[in-house]
Amino acid sequence: MRREKEGFYPWSFALWRVFSWVLYYGVLYLAVSVAWTLAAEGIRAGSLWGYLGFGLVLALALWAAWFGLRGEIRLDLDVAISRLIDFMLTIPTLPLLLVLSALLRDPEVAVGRWAQGVFGDAASVFIIITILVFFGWLGTARLVRGSILSLREMDYATAAQALGATDFRIMFRHLVPNTMAPLIVQATLQVGQAILVEAALSFLGFGIQPPVATWGNMLTNAQEYIFIAPWLALPPGFMIFITVLAFNYLGDGLRDALDPRSRL
């Protein structure tokens, strides 16, 4: 028997989903607008609570938007984070580091004014650490994701799932411990990379500022006397070289020690 075409009645499921979608994001927009106004006033006044409120509002807005979109278009968190990482990796790192360092050190910028007011002479240290953390998680996130995707297809993970183990137990009992070896190696390599980035930024004048002593600042001071006393640049340059080389060798040693195939 042929069914008649369903009409677009107010109580139909499709119309109710449209209304619920508009209501959800309408309330979300109003809540974020009010909270954003309060946070902006706190930031304008230079209050720490303003910055904390700004971060909280941003986190809640992103979480609520993702929660709503996940129900509407089945947004996958893994795909979203992967696309975010791919986008950030396409950005030239060194020019962006220079721009961010210059902006955050500017007392006319709210974040730079707050950092200088809270940390004083160590504000540049806080800024460099923030920048390194902001860009340092990309490679580690891709490494962990790739390791998890390969480990979840192993026999022990499949057997644990067949025995009825929960996702939480499989993740933290079987998968996470097996990702620690490459993660430790990656951490040692990133220490050397962070030393090079900090030294380069300090040498160019965009990193940690005097009177805080760094190897990059020592190279900058030695540059003025490079034709008179070139040996002044040797100690900081040698220390940067030997420290980065030591961390690289440490990463290679840990990789060999933690590799299960080397025990066979």
- What digits encode the pLDDT tens for the residues 115-164? 667 666 666 777 777 777 777 778 788 888 888 888 888 888 888 888 88
Pick 76-263's CATH classification: 3.40.50.300, 3.40.50.2300, 1.10.287.10, 1.10.3720.10: 1.10.3720.10
What amino acid is encoded at 83 in this protein? R
* 239 φ, ψ (degrees, to nearest 5): -65, -40
Name the residue ranges covered by the structural domains of the chain.
24-75, 76-263
Residue 259's pLDDT band (boundaries 50, 70, 90)? Answer: low
Element of type H or E holding 11: none
Tens digits of per-residue pLDDT, 51-104?
555 566 566 656 655 555 454 444 456 777 777 778 777 777 777 777 777 776
What amino acid is encoded at 78 in this protein? D
What does R_g of the chain's alpha carbons equal in angstroms?
26
**pTM, two decimal places:** 0.59
Taking CB atoms within 8 Å and a gap of at least 24, the contacts of 73-80 are: 78/145
For residues 154 and 150, what is the distance between their CA atoms, to the nearest angstrom? 7
Residue 5's pLDDT band (boundaries 50, 70, 90)? Answer: very low
Q: Is 219 exposed, middle or buried (0-12, 13-18, 19+ CB in 10 A)?
A: buried
